[in-house]
């Protein structure tokens, strides 16, 4: 019996990832193993891998500029000002239920905006969340719920709204790879394709808010929580003791808002996140909020913020290109199609489940899509799925496992803000709650989308 090179490469890559070998190395080793087993030889395998890397260069550059834009926004003090405004409202309104649910809505809104309108990804979390921990403790809010609120905004927005990071995920990665694999995507609405899976995420959020974590939970009032809260309040108070400082603070906030609007409008009219980020960063530099002498530092910090995600994505493109070069995708598809014997319901469920496992191992849904699209598109065509259903399957399979993966930004981000005082465990309080509340409904609603679209 001949071992399929594509299947073995995916198994090797996933096994190494789950064994905590760095994802970039896992993808590279898996690609080399698949190419050599298929008989490509080292030179042809590396050439195919490098061709795939070139295809991912634009995405990586978009991420680098987004990182610089994110750091510039943080540099302006806008997230700290938002935290200060929230703390004042809490101080004025006490601990009423209305204040609590307004806080929940604010966190979800900020998480959603961090993916498109204010594309700073998880950079807002360590700036906004630690000053609020004292308020969370006072209202006895379960931090597992806060992790679910933030993760909902981080994941649902990019998998449903085609702007900002959603433009990268839905258009630049998913539709591009689906199109290259053999489906005409010119008339496909990604929003329509992903609406039902996004509804599953909303169901998970509502369960977390109103059922799972509605009961009070006690946390210790530690000095570090008070220090984080006081630092924000003191900074805001200092800005009011001197007219110049107050004016400067307001000016930076106005510039930050202008930069955000500029980036959004440019992206909207050019369909280029790269240009949007560049223009937004340019506003900060032109107005002096980011000094010319500090521009290098801010830009470098932004690249560091997004570099890991960018490297993983371009490596995944290389992996996918090698898999195509082996010419063993079609035999794998034919074997899988015969195994399912035309049972679309079972095929859809298995494809989504595999997507969950692969994304859990890699830790990045953006990097999963090129790998899955190369295999799933021919399989979906052979089983008779519509183009819209195919996009829904691949988009959901990629997003599955982002929430709930120990190595995902969607869980690492919330933990970075909630565990500054050592009272929030990454696995028990971020990974497990988000896995349960989002992966299960996403699996169910993704399957429904595959069946009805």
Question: pLDDT tens, 231-281?
Answer: 666 555 544 444 444 556 677 778 878 888 888 788 777 777 778 778 888
Q: Which residue has the higher pLDDT, 89 or 385?
A: 385
Q: What integer is the mean pLDDT of 210-230?
A: 76
Q: What integer is the mean pLDDT of 361-380?
A: 79
Residue-wise pLDDT for 289-298, tens only, equals: 777 777 777 7
Residue-wise pLDDT for 307-339, tens only, equals: 666 777 677 778 778 877 887 776 776 777 777
pLDDT over 50 (residue 413): yes
Provide the domain limits for residue 228.
5-452
Q: Give the pLDDT confidence score for residue 223 in this predicted structure.
A: 66
- Its pTM stands at 0.77
Q: Which residue has the higher pLDDT, 250 or 132?
A: 132
pLDDT over 60 (residue 46): yes
Where is average pLDDT lowest: 40-49, 169-178, 364-373, 434-443?
A: 364-373
Q: Give the pLDDT confidence score for residue 221 in this predicted structure.
A: 75
pLDDT over 60 (residue 410): yes
Per the structure, the count of domains in the chain is 1
Average pLDDT taken over every residue of the chain = 80
User: Residues, the chain, total?
Assistant: 453
Q: Give the pLDDT confidence score for residue 216 in this predicted structure.
A: 87
Residue-wise pLDDT for 346-356, tens only, equals: 888 888 888 88
pLDDT over 70 (residue 98): yes
Where is average pLDDT lowest: 93-107, 230-244, 421-435?
A: 230-244
Q: Give the pLDDT confidence score for residue 243 in this predicted structure.
A: 47
Dihedral angle, C-alpha 53, 175, 342, 323, nearest 10 °: -10
């Amino acid at each position: 019996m001949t071992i399929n090179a594509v299947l073995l490469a995916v198994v090797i890559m996933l096994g190494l990832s789950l064994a905590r070998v760095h994802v970039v190395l896992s993808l590279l080793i898996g690609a080399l193993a698949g190419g050599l087993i298929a008989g490509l030889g080292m030179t042809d395998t590396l050439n195919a891998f490098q061709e795939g890397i070139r295809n991912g260069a634009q995405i990586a550059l978009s991420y680098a500029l987004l990182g610089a834009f994110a750091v510039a926004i943080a540099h302006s003090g806008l997230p700290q000002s938002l935290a200060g405004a929230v703390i004042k409202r809490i101080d004025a309104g006490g601990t009423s239920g209305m204040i609590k649910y307004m806080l929940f809505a604010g966190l979800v809104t900020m998480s959603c905006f961090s993916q498109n309108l204010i594309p700073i990804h998880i950079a807002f979390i360590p700036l906004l969340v630690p000053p609020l921990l004292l308020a969370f403790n006072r209202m006895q809010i379960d931090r597992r719920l806060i992790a679910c609120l933030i993760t909902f905004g981080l994941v649902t927005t990019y998998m449903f709204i085609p702007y900002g990071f959603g433009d990268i995920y839905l258009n630049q990665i998913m539709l591009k790879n689906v199109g290259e694999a053999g489906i005409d995507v010119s008339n496909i609405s990604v929003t329509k394709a992903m609406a039902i899976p996004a509804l599953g995420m909303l169901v998970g959020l509502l369960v977390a808010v109103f059922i799972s974590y509605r009961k009070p939970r006690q946390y210790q009032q530690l000095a570090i929580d008070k220090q984080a809260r006081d630092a924000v309040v003191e900074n805001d108070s200092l800005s009011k003791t001197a007219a110049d400082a107050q004016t400067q603070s307001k000016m930076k906030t106005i510039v930050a808002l202008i930069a955000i609007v500029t980036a959004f409008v440019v992206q909207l009219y050019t369909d280029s996140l790269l240009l949007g980020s560049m223009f937004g960063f340019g506003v900060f530099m032109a107005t002096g909020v980011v000094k010319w002498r500090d521009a290098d530092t801010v830009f470098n910090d932004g690249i560091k913020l997004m570099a890991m995600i960018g490297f993983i994505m371009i490596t995944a493109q290389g992996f996918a290109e090698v898999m195509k070069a082996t010419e063993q995708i079609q035999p794998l598809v034919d074997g899988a199609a015969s195994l399912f014997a035309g049972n679309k319901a079972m095929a859809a469920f298995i494809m989504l489940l595999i997507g969950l496992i692969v994304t859990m191992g890699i830790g990045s849904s953006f990097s999963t899509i090129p790998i899955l699209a190369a295999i799933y598109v021919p399989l979906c065509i052979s089983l008779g799925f519509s183009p819209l259903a195919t996009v829904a399957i691949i988009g959901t399979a990629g997003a599955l496992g982002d929430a709930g993966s120990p190595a995902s930004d969607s869980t690492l981000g919330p933990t970075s803000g909630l565990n500054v005082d050592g009272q929030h465990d990454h696995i028990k309080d971020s990974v497990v709650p988000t896995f349960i509340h989002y992966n299960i409904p996403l699996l169910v609603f993704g399957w429904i989308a595959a069946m009805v679209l």
